[in-house]
Chain A
Amino acid sequence: MKRFVVFLLVSVLVVGLMSGVTLAQGKKPKIAWCPAIDDPFYYMIGKGIADKCKELGLELFVAEYPKAWGPEVQVPILEAVAARGDIDVIITGPTSKEALIAPLKRIHDSGIEIITVDTYIGDGDYSKPSEYSFPLTFIGTDNFQGGVEVAHHLAEMIGKKGKVFIETTNPDVSSVVERVEGFKKGMSEYPDIEIVGVEYNLDVQEKAQQQVAAALQANPDIVGIFGTNLYSAQGAYQAVVNAGLTGAVKIASWDATEDLIKALKEGKVDLVLAQKPYEIGTLAVEAAYQYFVEGKEVPKRMVPGFFFFTRDNVNDPESQKYIYRAD
């Protein structure tokens, strides 16, 4: 009798497990969203994820938005989410290219698929087999490509000729370095445009102002400036105003945060590149859906395009969704 009970239990367990396994194919995955930091950009990704999950009828668990950027904050959150046991896919932005490889690999080996958004692990190329190629896909912006497109838009604004200057933050931070390189590449297609310099302000705005003021004096005929972030762009603006060149020098900048959009409306900058965090979120959920429900292969890398704000479109109703908002 006792043996029979054990046999019954074991067989129920085995059948249960097997049916569970077969059900996994084509079943709707439960998604966990583990943001890298509490900021408007990640909030927008989260919004895209939530809306898409609702549309596709997927269950979503949202982990806490960490108050600080870094593996020591992020890894415990990821491990706690994985330990819940009911998650099929984790969507996250790794806060370190190197330090997140091992923790994410452990989670992946326990049967959870990983999708990285905004940032990646290793060199971000998951198409070649490597120790970090296990995530389903990377969905994020290409800083280099963004720089190229900023160059094209700025070139249009200045009539494809004249001198331009680049004001950036650090010579050793990959995101802004790629933006600068992309910008140079983009501008190289215009023979009548000359890049007269690149300066680094280390995120100190008065440095940006000082450097741009000096550049404007050495080259009073500068017609365009690319400030790779808010501090760089606003410092550049202040120098342009003090030089009495408001309107004569076009300033381009990066990321549609509310303060840069405000600066655009006030005429302090003339062009703002917006990444598309909302699209990053919806693409991530679609990738999970395709993989689990439709059983399709997912591209290893997806790059949503950019949106460009100018004073002509900044008040359009359809532009508003590209502003990063944390509400």
Chain B
Amino acid sequence: MPPLFIRLRIMAYSHFGYGQRFAVQLGRNWVVLFLVILVVLFSFTGRGFFSPKTLNNILLTSSPALLLAAGETFVIITGGIDLSVGFVRGLISVISAIIMRDLYARGYSPSFCIPLGIVVGLALGLLPGLINGILVARFRVPPFIATLGMYGVANGFALRFSKGFPITFLPPEVGQIGNGFFAYFLPGRGLSFFARHADIVEGEMRNLIGIVPYAIVVVAVLLLIFAFILSRTQFGQHVYAIGGNIDAARRAGIPVERDLIRVYMISSFFAALSGVMYTLIFSIGTHTQFSASLELFAIAAVVIGGASLMGGKGSIGGTTLGVLVLALLEIGFLMSGILPFYRYIAVGTILIFAVVIDQTFPEIIYE
């Protein structure tokens, strides 16, 4: 049984004529259309843009942002907001890096300290979400305030542990895990699995294409699982119901407190995973700088992906598209040789555009 709001949409939709249906479809899927337009446009303006390397670049470097945005999607669907994700990511990156560094320095093998750093980091990453969830669900603290508090707390701890400096001197294997590919393709030489072609010469390196980075597989699998949870499970329906109308959800017997706590824990779990991945990819643990505004970009991606800050709407698929749009703008503008400042303007404009479209089309649906 699809979630309540989808059923509503189907009911309204069946009364429309073809023209209206087309407009609604276009409105609902404008992000896809926009994405296609951007790809076509940048293929003309950006030198070397249309290439599997661009796809790899986008997928690899936007996977941390994708994780933050995926967690944020759950929170936003409940009508909440999680401002702490960026700094939780930094905190967990620092903690996991410190564990790996200190154990490695004491002579433990990398096969022990790297998994331990990952596991402890992910486990501790649930804590900020648990606290956020309890504050929001039990103590009725507005999500904006609860997570703004956690934003400061997480950043403070991250700075306390790192003293404001990157954590380096990790086991060398860390970077190999974070940057590995399942397969490499060299034109004329064929595929090689798990490692580069053994006898590769320097001139050929330029043409080497890595296929499917480990990092992306992890992210893709997780996104599929959580997309399933959101759209196909009872818990997922509850998330939409809470966002649609929290009082109605309570009256309907939905365990709102428990589910809200879970939602905030999912959000901080994704943030923690993003932090651990940062450490693995860059072999460095670092706190999040204030100027990074990671949480704001995550929220922007979720909204561009069709969610509403009022709650009750959004999807993992939409959020993924939102993240891709932002990454595509970044890379496409750069490769077209346009000053970075115009990109800020473009991103801002599109964010507003997304909300305007969203305000326009659902009204047709719910009429």
Q: Do A and B come from one complex?
A: yes
A215 to B286, CA, bound (A): 25
A262 to B337, CA, bound (A): 33
CB-nearest residue of chain B to A266: B172
A197 to B334, CA, bound (A): 8
Q: Are B205 and A238 in contact, with the CB atoms below 8 A?
A: no
Q: How distant is B47 from chain A, measured CB to nearest CB, in Å? A: 4
CB-nearest residue of chain B to A263: B168
* 1/0 contact string of A24-44 vs chain B (CB within 8 Å): 000000000000001100000
Q: Kindly identify which residue among A238, A242, A245 contacts B282, using a CB–CB cutoff of 8 Å.
A: A238
* 1/0 contact string of B2-19 vs chain A (CB within 8 Å): 000000000000000000
Known: A206-B61, A262-B168. A248 touches B202 (CB 8 A): yes
A197 to B336, CA, bound (A): 11
Q: Are A244 and B291 in contact, with the CB atoms below 8 A?
A: no
Is A207 in the interface zone, CB < 8 Å from B?
Answer: yes
Known: A205-B278, A244-B206. A262 touches B169 (CB 8 A): yes
Could you say which residues of chain B place their CB within 8 Å of the CB of A203?
289, 291-292
Is A59 in the interface zone, CB < 8 Å from B?
Answer: no
Please tell me the number of chain B residues within 8 Å of chain A, measured between CB atoms.
Answer: 47
Q: Are A242 and B179 in contact, with the CB atoms below 8 A?
A: yes
Q: Are B284 and A220 in contact, with the CB atoms below 8 A?
A: no
Could you say which residues of chain B place their CB within 8 Å of the CB of A241?
179
Q: Are A218 and B46 in contact, with the CB atoms below 8 A?
A: yes
A266 to B130, CA, bound (A): 40
In chain A between 242 and 268, which residues have their CB closer than 8 angstroms to a CB of chain B?
242-248, 257-259, 262
In chain A between 191 and 207, which residues have their CB closer than 8 angstroms to a CB of chain B?
197-200, 202-207
Is A225 in the interface zone, CB < 8 Å from B?
Answer: no
In chain A between 207 and 255, which residues have their CB closer than 8 angstroms to a CB of chain B?
207, 209-211, 213-215, 217-220, 230-231, 234-235, 238-239, 241-248
Q: How distant is A270 from chain B, measured CB to nearest CB, in Å? A: 16
Q: Interface on B for A, CB 8 Å cutoff? A: 46-49, 51, 53-54, 56-58, 60-62, 64-65, 163-166, 168-169, 179, 202, 204-208, 210, 278, 281-282, 284, 286, 289, 291-294, 327, 330-331, 334-335, 337, 340-341
Q: List 9 A-B contacts (CB under 8 A).
A: A169-B291, A206-B65, A211-B330, A231-B166, A241-B179, A242-B57, A243-B206, A259-B284, A262-B168
Q: Which 7 A-B pairs have the closest CB atoms?
A: A244-B205, A210-B61, A259-B168, A203-B289, A218-B335, A213-B57, A214-B331
